[in-house]
A and B are shown apart, each in its own frame.
Chain A
């Protein structure tokens, strides 16, 4: 993950980034390193609410589980970069929401490497974007040659509140084993006008109606988080600014 020279838009992993903001933050500190020992159970919530580039390298030991919940909402440029390596029978779960308006650029960039057999990974990412904001998910799943019985899933959805907002989503698979299950799904859409009208016909003002639908759209990503209620509340407050 660590990049020694300032990236440009030609670097795939920085293609949609706010390069001016990256330049201003350069050089980046060394990535945070998290090691989950064999059989361990790790949980963490990350709230990015002031504009930052966060890089995390994580190694999940044999039979260990790790779950990350990410809320990426703040600052002109917010980037969360995860480089996760799974050992035999390990389990990784990512539930992430990025919510941006104005001219914000928000990114979640993941590399999940199944280095050994029988590991599972689940990534669920929801983006809500208004104004001229850009939200990007780049997710690479790499399966090593002997990492048989790998089971991985990427479930990525984005909701655009304005036609001027941009969502990028790129699941990427690199598979060298032959007995694996790697599912990936991706959808980008906008709020359904019929549903919005239905809610308004019952008395909800347009902003409240949108907020209710968007809250439902991102809700699932925080399932199982230790501070689920706080994450939901922060997400809801940010959604309230956008509608």
Chain B
């Protein structure tokens, strides 16, 4: 099993947000978590990503058998976890290319692999930028500075392509995207992550991303717990009837 979350409880500023969440994801699977505002969707992604300020008070999360919650954020990345941010940050003065090359090589070093040369890295970056239809010139610019909302999200996916994680947790990657960009991002997720040895956890409010990235399982998160799970048809049911009906 790739990710196993068991009875997870977490607080933010002493306020309980996750209240006994359990979830299991196998390699080769794409899971979607949907739910109303305030249900704890983003908290779940940050807890799994190890963001400071998110405190686990009970329960466990293991990634390929390792205790995920005991690892530093950069060690989680090296182990193969990628977090796609709902609000990617801007970093003036630091180019995408430099940042990603150093990040990738830090991950490789942690795994005992040789660093990628400048030439090989640029080749990889060019390929993934092409996949997401992001101009290579944008990768030479400072991270997300002056990028539109859609470009930031596509840049997140380019980063995912370059870093090549085993598990991607994508927090509202569809928010802020127009219809064309949504298709590009959806195609990118499929091309990069739909493989027997990889898995995805999509966190979203809306059904529309799921038209492009067909999930194997859909879960409804409400008040800090998974209240219902099903197949892709559950997403359509939610879209039709609303969260209030299903989560009740």
* B140 contact set on A, CB distance < 8 A: none
Interface residue total, chain A, C-beta cutoff 8 A: 22
Q: Which of B97-105, B197-205, B217-225 contacts A (4 or more CB under 8 A)?
A: B97-105
Whether a CB of chain B sits under 8 angstroms from the CB of A155 is no
Partner of B89, one of A195, A205, A206, A220: A195
Contact call B99/A212, Cβ cutoff below 8 A: yes
Partner of A216, one of B50, B51, B92: B92
Partner of A195, one of B50, B78, B91, B107: B91
Partner of B93, one of A199, A209, A217: A217
Whether a CB of chain B sits under 8 angstroms from the CB of A193 is yes
Whether a CB of chain B sits under 8 angstroms from the CB of A194 is yes
Contact call A203/B77, Cβ cutoff below 8 A: yes
* Interface residues of chain B: helix, strand, loop or mixed (majority): helix
Whether a CB of chain B sits under 8 angstroms from the CB of A202 is yes
Contact call B94/A201, Cβ cutoff below 8 A: no
Given the complex of chains A and B, what is the CA–CA distance between A201 and B143 in angstroms?
Answer: 14
Closest approach, in angstroms, between the C-beta of A51 and any C-beta of chain B?
Answer: 30
Contact call B159/A202, Cβ cutoff below 8 A: yes
Whether a CB of chain B sits under 8 angstroms from the CB of A213 is yes
Given contacts A206-B74, A216-B92, contact A199 B99 (CB under 8 A): yes
Given the complex of chains A and B, what is the CA–CA distance between A200 and B100 in angstroms?
Answer: 11
Contact call B91/A216, Cβ cutoff below 8 A: yes
Whether a CB of chain A sits under 8 angstroms from the CB of B243 is no
Partner of B52, one of A193, A199, A205, A209: A193
Interface residues of A in 196-229 (CB under 8 A from B): 197-206, 208-209, 212-213, 216-217, 219-220
Closest residue of B by beta carbon distance from A194? B89
Given the complex of chains A and B, what is the CA–CA distance between A41 and B163 in angstroms?
Answer: 48
Contact call A202/B52, Cβ cutoff below 8 A: no
Contact call A198/B106, Cβ cutoff below 8 A: no
Partner of B106, one of A192, A197, A204, A220: A204
* B110 contact set on A, CB distance < 8 A: 203
Add 18 more A-B contacts to A200-B73, A201-B50, A208-B102 (CB < 8 A). A198-B88, A198-B91, A199-B91, A199-B103, A200-B74, A201-B49, A201-B73, A201-B74, A201-B83, A202-B100, A202-B103, A203-B77, A203-B103, A203-B110, A205-B72, A205-B106, A212-B94, A212-B102
Interface residues of B (CB under 8 A from A): 49-52, 72-74, 76-78, 83, 85, 88-89, 91-94, 98-100, 102-104, 106-107, 110, 159, 163
> Can you name 11 A-B pairs with beta carbons within 8 Å?
A195-B89, A195-B91, A198-B88, A198-B91, A199-B99, A201-B49, A201-B74, A203-B78, A206-B74, A208-B106, A213-B91
